[in-house]
Structure 1
Amino acid sequence: MIKKLLTKLNRIPGSKLHEKLENEEAVRRQVTALFGVLSSVYGPDKLVLRAGKLDALGLMRSSSLDDRVLALQRIVFENPGLEERPTPERIPEILNEVEEALADFLARKSVEEDIERRVTDRMQEKHEEYIKEIRTQLVKEQSGPENAQTLKKYARLEKLETVKLSKSMFEAVRPQAMEQIVGQEQAKRALLSKLASPFPQHILIYGPPGVGKTTAARIALQEAARLASTPFLANAPFVEVDGTTLRWDPRDITNPLLGSVHDPIYQGARRDFADTAVPEPKPGLVTDAHGGILFIDEIGELDAMLQNKLLKVLEDKRVSFDSPYYDPDDVNVPKYIKKLFEEGAPADFVLIGATTRDPSEINPALRSRCAEIFFEPLVPDQVETIVMEAADRLEVSLEAEVAQTIARYTIEGRKAVNLLADAHGLAVYRAGATAEEAVSISQHDIDEVLRMNRMVPFVKDRETVQSEIGKIYGLGVAGFLGSVLEIEAVAYPAVEAGKGRMRFNDTAGSMAKDSVFNAAAVLRRITGKDLQDYDIHVNVVGGGRIDGPSAGVAITMAIYSALTEKPIPQNLAITGEVSIQGKVKPVGGVFEKIFGARQAGVTQVLVPYDNRRDVPTETGDVNVHCVQTIDEVLELVFAEQNQTIIAS
């Protein structure tokens, strides 16, 4: 309607300044038209009331042209004090001003009406949404959050809960007390002593996989919680996580270890928080472990940045949260969120990290804050014990050689139980037995399992001969596992004196070749023979790689035996570097090497004297001899008076 009035107004004759009034009749029609526009805008009744308030009603009803023009001026410009009647010369100019003012008024009114219409429409939409939400809420209050679809899914979950398989093998055979963990006596005592103190320490546990590190930590907390001297409560939490699954998120959106903040824009906090733009902190595992133990398996694989953040938590015993969306003055922020942002979340726990890595590969800052405990590799006797105790818990019987066979193929307690579980399943399938019937695992069952798993013996059978010329066992180590290296040598007089050749397999490494050259110098001194007069070939059976000089003494003895044709006892193994002066120098990994010798059934081990403190207190059936010079080695290995001792 406003647009029509504006169009009508523009069509009134003489509405522009440059137009001239041709005659009085035309002016009267123009004045009448303007009053018609006002009547359309305000309505007839309101126009009369408006004219009365502005003392223009009489002038508007007058037959005098100047009175009516004055009435227009008072009504349009809202000026009741206007008294001067326009002269005929000024009437066209006044009418033009009235038209412009009226056009501006109509334009503003048009915009205002459009805005008012939009506001009304928006209010109507909001009102309808509000009514709909209220109705939905009322329906939920009456019927609850459930509907046919949700109830169907709930019923399906309930049905799934009724289906139960037997518990896993590991749950059935897992040790429930510290004494049930086979071996590791020293490590178990160290672990308990560090947790039983009134001031429990953070701990790093080193050791090969499958030797009971996680189980020992869990049981140690239970034992410590029973003691009055410890700060652990009876229900102290034990939170276990694998370090390989944790990654540092620089956006702080997903950090399950330390916690994160759910911002209302990116992740969407709870709806009531999202509507008011309140971020919600989510405490992580370090807070879940508050008052107990946080166990991180494979802690050496933990992201470097996450390790640094964890160190900060260990120092502060709290986790701080931050978000650009947090406003401490916002009245919509709940007290617990304000407390988390301003004070942080408590994280006072004992960290126990387990790793299969060497200590040198662990963050030095983390090591400096933790006590260190070393779990030892399992020897065959201990693996046999694990297998037999697992069979007792499963209530199955074993043929005589089953446990011993499993012990030959693995040094891991977990793997041994896996093999037992496979053999148990095969025995049940073969016999067609039910779960209630007694099952016996035969040697045939375990042999078939080993074939199916393509397994080879971890510990090779040594030859049963008591002594042999040119053959000796050296000792190597990889990580926490020691092993026996079979080294052999042959020596033949050269075709031409002084032009003999010396060969050594390249796969053993350059350090092993250097050991051969050192041995040549030592052998010339102790035998008086020049190795250039012989063709000598030294071999590491199986191509084992020797990264260091620790096979030097063993290589020297193998060549010496080949040159002098003196036999070497085959129950003996040697480790140590040989210098060109004939001294036996210290090497690394002696602790692990002795256990490797024990696994292989070696009963006599020679180690450098400077490594005497690295010899374990318990060596089982292994006798360890500490030597300083090659002469002492010769005395122990080749002297006639010692042959009976060494070969026994």
Structure 2
Amino acid sequence: MANGEEMLVPLLPLRGLLVYPTMVLHLDVGRDKSVQALEKAMVDDNLIFLVAQKDMGIDDPSQNDLFEMGTLAKIKQMLKLPNGTMRVLVEGLQRGFIQSFDEVDDSFLVKIDTYDEAYKGDLEDRALMRTLLEYFDQYIKISKKVSAETFSTVSDIEEPGRLADIIASHLPLKIPGKQDILETLDVKERLNKVISFIQNEKEVLQLEKKIGQRVKKSMERTQKEYYLREQMKAIQKELGDKEGKTGEVATLREKIEAAGMSESAKAVALRELDRYEKIPASSAESSVIRNYIDWLVTIPWTEATEDILNIKRAEKVLDDEHYGLEKVKERVLEYLAVQQLTKSLKGPILCLSGPPGVGKTSLARSIATSMNRNFVRASLGGVRDESEIRGHRRTYVGAMPGRIIQSMKKAGTINPVFLLDEIDKMSNDFRGDPSSALLEVLDPEQNHNFSDHYIEEPYDLSNVMFIATANNLATIPGPLRDRMEIINIAGYTELEKLEIAKRHLAPRQLADHGLQKSQLQIRDDALMALIRLYTREAGVRSLEREIASICRKAARLIVSEEKKRVVVTEKSLEEFLGKPRFRYGQAELEDQVGVATGLAYTAAGGDTLAIEVSLSSGKGKLVLTGKLGDVMKESAQTAFSYVRSKAKELGIEENFYEKYDIHIHVPEGAVPKDGPSAGITIATALISALTGKPIRKEVGMTGEITLRGRVLPIGGLKEKSLSAHRAGLTKILIPYDNEKDIEDIPDSVRERIEIVLVSHLDEVLKHALVGEK
């Protein structure tokens, strides 16, 4: 390669374009400076220097905006277009390098050094040329952007530098890349650069082709599926099947998207929906999958009611719907107050414990009303199968979710008040222990991730307020009881029952029987007689039944005898309900020897228990009757042993056990009885029978006895005191250690009954036996 001559020529900047030597092409020129440069070139020798701009966005470039290497070209033809631009046909001649840069008469003049390239090439160049042509041929076949005639044209070129330039002009190089080829004066290096670029471009094109084929296959598959679905719709329409399974699947898909379920549950639902779509409707599995999807979309995942955390409103709701039960109301209001402060308290698990009919279920419903939450109830009485709680696995015929998920579906929200009714009535068998399955449900640390065997996906129960009810805490397993906060509802006093009857029971029964207040009036004295003589219970369920009976008879009188008003008084009560069923006050009518009144706690609340002792000639045999449990029998043995050890001090014959057979009997022999709290009652009755001293008829007692005569504490004091008040007793003897429980006894009962604390049997005898001081 030899350097050419220096010359001074006009400069034409090119935007987004570059001209190689030997290239012939048309240019459209519109900028003023460029037009003047063309005109100046036409006046001289038709030579012009073509240089590419570094940034094609610049409209008026300076020297720094242009590359230094360009192409000297000859203007072959120039035509002025109607829009004012010039169309020029140029032919590239030689490479040139700018030596100096001048601006004359609003156009650029540059002094350039030209490079004359007459190099034919050696063997290596020939090999590079052959490789370049082979690669270019492959590129043309892949890209389809360059015509086959182009390859025929370039294959005849013998100069290696010119071949590299011509092929580079046909490649999709950006201006910096093309400029790099232009500035490469060494022919071998230029050939290698063009070969390298073609190789890279071939790989890119092959990858694009693969991607295109993949996209095409995907589109073909989608179009095919669309076509088949449309055909299926047409067939189903002809058969009168409306939209058939296709429309059903579309509806289910919308429901899944709108259900708000967790991502994992949503993925499972969509996967099962795809299976459902592909399985024939006649298949047995089709209905199984459909039921599963239905459950997933119908149980609540995000729907929630907004809590109304207004303490005064909640207190009013509870007071309006329930009379009494102050401790329970206080606990609920405390929970609401804490939630109002924290906004994030996990739902507590309350257990309302008490005898039947005291309002446990209705209280739970009132709690839901006070909080503006939905209420749902699941009865656990008789449940003995773990799958009742956790659900059945879908592999079983007729599988369905457990009662927890079923109830959540009924609730329709994720934060209802959930009543687990009769939690103490669950049992277990070979199918599992349902109480153990409830451990996860009732643990605030675990129930955010509850797993039902049917649903399989984790379900959040942490927003639920669980309330359980139970009659007998002793039958609830320890671990389950440990997870709940126990609130005891002992029962109602007579005055409380009277208020409940007036405020709630009577109005409700009047409405249920279609009666107006003006048609039936039950006076207070009649209600009190009803409570005392016709019912004996801790709650008010029997009381409501008796009021309903009065309403029915009154309705008959109003309809058949056309009475406008029926008034029920204490005297006329017998006409409606017949003879009294109970004697008010079970206390003995007179002081008796060997008969002591004990206070007992049963599932129906408190009750009084008469314990009788009789002596007969014999050899010290001790007989116990009345269907007593083991603990109560042991209490009788303990009392008997104490009396034997203290016989002399008590004024009893020391060898009485050799002369008499002793029979201890507790009436109502068909009713099972057990517990240690009858100990001092048995001992008092035994001492009364052996000494001949009568026991005061107005005194009731409760307490466990030891072999040394000490009185130990008992449970259920409130219930026992209520039963004493009901029976007409005026004094009760209780263990000294139960002093802390006296405040649980209603004021109306404490005002009418004298409560005596005792720590030893000697104190019991002073208050119980006639003549003792």
State the TM-score, normalizing by the size of structure 2: 0.49
> Retained in 1: the 8 A contact 2:498–2:528?
yes
- Alpha carbons of structure 1 residues 179 and 516: separation in structure 2 relative to 1, 3 Å: same
Q: What is the SS of the residue equivalent to 1:632?
A: helix
- CA RMSD, 1 decimal: 4.1
1:366-385 matches, cutoff 5 A: 366-385=480-499
Counterpart contact for 1:257–1:286, Cα < 8 Å: no
Structure 1 residues 255-299: Cα deviation after superposition (integer angstroms, max 9, x where no partner):
253438xxxxxxxxxxxxxxxxxxxxxx93497342342222223
Aligned to 2:373: 236
1:633 counterpart (749, 764, 767): 764
Greater strand share, 1 or 2?
2
- In structure 2, the gaps of 5 or more residues are 1-230, 248-315, 340-344, 427-433, 511-516
Equivalent residue for 1:353? Answer: 468
Match of 1:188 in 2: 329
Amino acid in the other structure paired with 2:373 = A
Cα–Cα, structure 1 residues 188 and 256, in superposed 2: closer, same or farther, change >3 Å? same
Return closer, same or farther for 1:430/1:306 CA change in 2, 3 Å cut-off: farther
Deviations 1:118-142 (A, max 9, x none): xxxxxxx98984452468569xx9x
Q: CA deviation at 1:581?
A: 2.0
Task: Tell me: higher relative CO, structure 1 or 2? Use CA pairs within 8 A at least 6 residues apart.
Answer: 1
Query: 1:564 maps to which residue?
Result: 691
After the TM superposition, which residues 4-403 of structure 1 pair with which residues of structure 2 at under 5 Å, given as runs? 129-133=235-239, 136=242, 177-198=318-339, 199=345, 201-223=348-370, 225=371, 235-244=372-381, 247-248=388-389, 249-251=391-393, 253-255=399-401, 257-259=403-405, 284-285=408-409, 288-301=412-425, 303-304=434-435, 306-311=437-442, 315-319=446-450, 344=459, 348-358=463-473, 360-389=474-503, 390-391=505-506, 394=510, 395=517, 396-399=520-523, 401-403=525-527
Residue type at the aligned position of 2:761: I
Any idea what SS the aligned residue of 2:690 has? helix
* Aligned match for 1:542, one of 668, 673, 693: 668
Is the CA contact 1:469–1:565 (under 8 Å) kept in the aligned structure 2? Answer: yes
1:416 to 511, 521, 543: 543
2:634 matched residue in structure 1: 511
Q: State the AA in 2 paired with 1:539.
A: H
Note if contact 1:488-1:538 (Cα within 8 Å) is conserved in structure 2: yes
Q: Distance in 2 between matches of 1:623 and 1:588?
A: 19
**Superposition deviation, residue 464 in structure 1:** 5.8
Gap change, CA 1:636 and 1:439, over 3 Å in 2: same
Q: Is the 8 A contact 2:587 2:597 kept in 1?
A: no
1:451-462 paired onto structure 2 within 5 Å: 456-457=581-582, 461-462=585-586
Comparing 284-293 with 421-430, which one deviates more in the overlay?
284-293
Deviation, 1:215, is: 2.3
3-state SS in 2 of match to 1:476: strand
**8 A Cα contact 1:577 1:585, kept in partner:** yes
8 A contact 2:441–2:461 mirrored in 1: no
**Matched positions, count:** 429
Paired residue type of 2:364? A
Residue identity over aligned pairs, in percent, reads: 24
Kept after mapping to 2: 8 A contact 1:313/1:319: no
Cα distance between partner residues in 1 of 2:675 and 2:452: 49
**Separation (CA, whole Å) in 2 of partners of 1:527 and 1:465:** 27
Following superposition, the deviation at residue 351 of structure 1 comes to 1.0
Letter in 2 for 1:505: T
Letter of the structure 2 residue corresponding to residue 467 of structure 1: D
Residue of structure 1 in register with 2:151 after alignment: none
- Between the aligned partners of 2:738 and 2:663, the Cα distance in structure 1 is 30
Contact kept? 1:522, 1:582, Cα under 8 Å: no
Distance 1:388-1:344 versus aligned 2 partners, 3 A rule: closer
* Contact 2:598–2:702, Cα closer than 8 Å, also in 1: yes
| Shift of residue 400, structure 1, vs aligned partner | 5.5
Aligned to 1:473, the other structure's residue is in SS state strand
Distance apart, 1:627 and its partner CA: 1.1
Contact 1:503 1:537 in 2 (8 A): yes
131 and 439 in structure 1: CA distance in 2 versus 1, 3 angstrom threshold: same
Alpha-carbon distance in structure 2 between the residues aligned to 1:528 and 1:135: 98
Aligned to 2:704: 577
Cα distance per residue 1:578-606 (max 9 Å; x no partner):
33322223344444322322332222111
Q: Per-residue displacement from partner, 1:6-48 (whole Å, max 9, x unpaired)?
A: xxxxxxxxxxxxxxxxxxxxxxxxxxxxxxxxxxxxxxxxxxx
| TM-superposed deviation, 1:569 | 1.4
Per-residue deviation, 1:559: 2.6
Verify: 1:612 aligned to 2:739, yes or no. Answer: yes
**One-letter code of the match for 1:212?**
G
Structure 1, gaps ≥5 residues long: 1-124, 142-174, 226-234, 261-282, 324-339, 643-648
Return closer, same or farther for 1:574/1:245 CA change in 2, 3 Å cut-off: closer
Output the amino acid matched with 2:325: Q
2-side partners of 1:567 and 1:346: how far apart? 61
Shift of 1:352: 1.2
Q: Please give the alpha-carbon distance, in whole angstroms, between the structure 1 residues aligned to 2:411 and 2:554.
A: 46
Q: 1:266 corresponds to which residue?
A: none
Letter of the structure 2 residue corresponding to residue 484 of structure 1: T
The alpha carbon displacement at 1:372 in A equals 1.9
Once residues 458 and 672 of structure 2 are traced to their aligned partners in structure 1, the CA distance between those partners, rounded to angstroms, is 56
| CA deviation vs aligned residue, 1:309-345 (integer Å, no higher than 9, x gap) | 524687343556788xxxxxxxxxxxxxxxx987756
Q: Please give the alpha-carbon distance, in whole angstroms, between the structure 2 residues aligned to 1:519 and 1:548.
A: 18
Offset at residue 212 of structure 1 (A): 1.6
C-alpha displacement of 1:442: 5.6
The alignment's TM-score, normalised by the length of structure 1, stands at: 0.57
Q: Secondary structure at the match of 2:668?
A: helix
State the one-letter code of the partner of 2:598.
G
SS in 2 for 1:186: helix
Change (3 A) 1:177 1:350: closer
Query: Structure 1 residues 314, 564: closer, same or farther in 2, change over 3 A?
Result: same
For residues 520-569 of structure 1, give each alpha carbon's deviation from its aligned partner in whole angstroms, at most 9, with x where no partner exists: 32551422522234454433233365423332221222232233332321
| Partners of 1:397 and 1:250 in 2: CA distance | 54
2:238 partner letter? K
Kindly name which structure, 1 or 2, has the bigger radius of gyration based on alpha carbons.
2
Distance 1:134 1:222 in 2: 49
Separation (CA, whole Å) in 1 of partners of 2:333 and 2:595: 45
Kept after mapping to 1: 8 A contact 2:594/2:689: yes
